[in-house]
Chains A and B, each alone.
Chain A
Amino acid sequence: MSAPTTKPTAEPTAEPVRSQAGAWRSIGVVAGREIAVKLRDKAFIGSTVFMLLLVTAATLIPILLQQQTPSVRVAVQGAGAAEVVDAAAVLGRDAQESGTALPPALAVFGVGGLPAADITSVEVEPGGDVERLVLDGDVDAAVVGDDIAQLTVLGAEGVPDELDVLLRAASSQLQVQRAADEAGLTAEQMASLTSPVMPEIELLAASPTGVVPPELLVLVFAFLFYLSVLTFGMSIAQSVVEEKQSRVIELLVAALPVRWLLAGKVLGNTLMALGQIVVILGAGLLGATAAGQGELVSQVLAASGWFIVFFLLGFVMLACLWAVAGSLASRIEDLQATTVVMQVLVIVPFFAALFAMDPGPLQRLLSYVPFTAPLLMPARVVLGNAAPWEPPLSALLVLATGVLFVIIGARLYEGSLMHTSARSSVKQAWRGTR
């Protein structure tokens, strides 16, 4: 019993499927080369490592600084001095334990709570040379005096800010206490004197708060996008002109349709750019997680979704035009001239987006303009002034522009690619046939 063979009828239908697979396979091969070349490129590796270090440092250092409780050695001479320094040490320790301490920078201005500090007192006998101890640097400062109302704080070039604030607080608390004792006030009356209840603040139009101000986050995202489009765009243009200048293009064009070549280049570089961004963001987030800043991590993660969507769309939209800029040049030296329009197309929107950081009609408008949308729409999401339907609409606009640019770009690329003798004009490229 032999089954009827279906082979002859199956063959013709298999034909188009194979050529389709050929397209994807070829695009993959081209993209693979772009990636392999990038991974071997020392400049690329160097810049990635540098940015990684920068991001890691940027997330870790402030956190480390913030968590470091300054320790201060204070020389103490006299009973009043000892009393005040002991009280200051208690206040500093309390601030440290309650975790409500403000960053040192803010504490200096006396806003709200007290700074955390680890105060060690060194007792000095009456008649001991306190000044010498301070000048020699054995202690950070010295407090001298028998009466808490008549104390002198000695410092060499200055008194540490934390110590200054804590000593003032301790001294005023003790003096209030003494005055209250003399006036015969009750414990409650005294408590209301020494720690009055502060008014409660309620915001009616609160913007989302986070560990990092959202404006800063937007700035970081915008900068990453800008840097990535500029460096990878330039690298696409270089890769195109390298093939033109070295004439490899002739071998490639004989075997591949130009569109596949373009698609492979854009795909490879997009993957690398996205990979670089994800690695850098990931490193930052990992660093923040390691430092126990869970709140920061969730804040960034929430914001990065739309950022990555817009990054991808914006990148692809411009990538084809970068390839065209490369194909209009005939040698590396021409690139500066042919890519200048592209550089403007990246830099102007970047600054426009920075100027439009404040919510308003301008920001709303620019968040729909395809060039600025990749920067401003995610920014509006982070700043919390975008309606839920706005990002998808803007994304669609960017996508549509991207499709248009891909079509225009492919034609220009095809038209100018084989003109290896001189720089081509856009007009020639548009008309040019192979």
Chain B
Amino acid sequence: MTGVLALERVTRDFGDRRALDEVSFEVRPGRTTGFVGANGAGKTTAMRIVMGVLAATAGEVTLGGRPLTREVRRTFGYMPEERGLYPRMRVLDQLVYLGRVYGLSASQARAHSEEMLERLGLSERGHDLLQTLSLGNQQRVQVAAALMHDPVLLVLDEPFSGLDPLAIDAMGEQLRERAASGVPVLFSSHQLELVEQLCDDVVIIDDGRVVAAGSADELRARRGGRRYRVEVDVPPGTDLATLVDAVPGARLVSVDGATVLVELDDSADDQVLLAAAQRLGTLRELARVRPTLAEIFREVVR
């Protein structure tokens, strides 16, 4: 059982540019954590620091409360953003080699590699050079390289990019399976719908700072504020937008035909909104709206 992976006030400078500014978040065992942010926000830098590929200028990364050592990192599964395997090496040979680099014995490495290829349906391609495989299959070999040594933690940088929809499903399944077995899984992605679907936890990073982190549900509840969609059939001549005038602390977000989106602040009473809507016309619907991750993202990253 792996402990919690924690980044504590991790800072990284590249020359004068500060890529990460006191970044702190946790990746908990048994959960998948989605790492989202705009291009250049610092996702890859943070993941490289976790893997020890880059050093932090300040701050610390710990696993189960202990600082990470190379020996511990060797037990991590890593998929770098820019995929990396030897193009002119046979598929099986390079998995065995990487397995041995991760510290497996020669026989273990061979057994695990063969098993991984079998599971990915690439058994008969084991003796081909990597560069002769299709891009999709190369990606699968990359997955095999990240998973072959039964890692205690997964760090995957954009694992879904370049995959077809079926492969995305398979990859998602893999991640959930690994998380369910107690492995903390951290992955980054630009596909917010996918993150929303897959993730238990979300970390949003913007310009080197963590702007939101926590369980996805909590985040939606907290970040969404109190937003309501109200559908009212109003008599001709009545402006639906006047609804908010009758409710103290309400703000109009948008109007679309017979539907308005209203946001209430902490002082506002949703029952007042209900009464006001009924007064205005025939109330068809009044519902609390939970924002999607994409909406939260757009809101916090501006």
- Find out whether the CB atom of B98 lies under 8 angstroms from the CB atom of A251: yes
- Interface mask (B76-105 → A, CB under 8 Å = 1, otherwise 0): 101010111111110001000110111100
The DSSP consensus for interface residues of chain A is: helix
Question: How far is A202 from B58 in the complex, measured between Cα atoms in Å?
Answer: 80
Asked if B229 CB lies within 8 Å of chain A CBs, one says no
- Find out whether the CB atom of B82 lies under 8 angstroms from the CB atom of A247: yes
A-side contacts of B53, CB under 8 Å: 250, 253-254, 418, 434
Asked if B145 CB lies within 8 Å of chain A CBs, one says yes
A254-B51 contact in complex given A29-B101, A247-B83, C-beta closer than 8 Å: yes
Please give the distance in Å from A32's CB to the nearest CB on chain B.
8
Question: How far is A257 from B69 in the complex, measured between Cα atoms in Å?
Answer: 11
The DSSP consensus for interface residues of chain B is: loop
A-side contacts of B87, CB under 8 Å: 242, 246
Asked if A33 CB lies within 8 Å of chain B CBs, one says yes
- Find out whether the CB atom of A250 lies under 8 angstroms from the CB atom of B85: no
- Find out whether the CB atom of A254 lies under 8 angstroms from the CB atom of B84: no
Asked if A22 CB lies within 8 Å of chain B CBs, one says yes
- Find out whether the CB atom of B78 lies under 8 angstroms from the CB atom of A254: yes
A-side contacts of B101, CB under 8 Å: 26, 29-30, 251-252, 255-256
Asked if A36 CB lies within 8 Å of chain B CBs, one says yes
- Known contacts A248-B86, A250-B48, A254-B52; 5 additional CB pairs below 8 A are A29-B97, A29-B101, A248-B85, A254-B74, A254-B76
Please give the distance in Å from A254's CB to the nearest CB on chain B.
4
Instruction: Place the interface of chain A in its size category.
Output: 20 to 34
- Find out whether the CB atom of B145 lies under 8 angstroms from the CB atom of A253: no
Which 9 pairs between the two chains have the least Cβ-Cβ distance? A247-B84, A250-B80, A248-B84, A254-B51, A247-B82, A29-B100, A255-B74, A255-B101, A434-B55
- Find out whether the CB atom of A247 lies under 8 angstroms from the CB atom of B80: yes
Name which residue of chain B comes closest to A239, CB basis: B86
Asked if A186 CB lies within 8 Å of chain B CBs, one says no
Please give the distance in Å from B145's CB to the nearest CB on chain A.
7
A242-B86 contact in complex given A29-B97, A255-B73, C-beta closer than 8 Å: yes
Among A231-271, those with CB < 8 Å from B are 242-243, 246-257
Name which residue of chain A comes closest to B130, CB basis: A246
Question: How far is A379 from B16 in the complex, measured between Cα atoms in Å?
Answer: 54
- Find out whether the CB atom of A255 lies under 8 angstroms from the CB atom of B70: yes
Question: How far is A252 from B78 in the complex, measured between Cα atoms in Å?
Answer: 10
A-side contacts of B239, CB under 8 Å: none
- Find out whether the CB atom of A253 lies under 8 angstroms from the CB atom of B52: yes
Question: How far is A36 from B88 in the complex, measured between Cα atoms in Å?
Answer: 12
Name which residue of chain B comes closest to A434, CB basis: B55
Asked if A67 CB lies within 8 Å of chain B CBs, one says no
- Find out whether the CB atom of B78 lies under 8 angstroms from the CB atom of A251: yes
Name which residue of chain B comes closest to A33, CB basis: B97
Question: How far is A393 from B100 in the complex, measured between Cα atoms in Å?
Answer: 40
Asked if A37 CB lies within 8 Å of chain B CBs, one says yes
B-side contacts of A434, CB under 8 Å: 53-55
A251-B80 contact in complex given A33-B97, A37-B89, C-beta closer than 8 Å: yes
Asked if A19 CB lies within 8 Å of chain B CBs, one says yes
6 contacts between A and B (CB under 8 A): A22-B103, A33-B97, A246-B86, A247-B82, A248-B84, A254-B53
Asked if B266 CB lies within 8 Å of chain A CBs, one says no
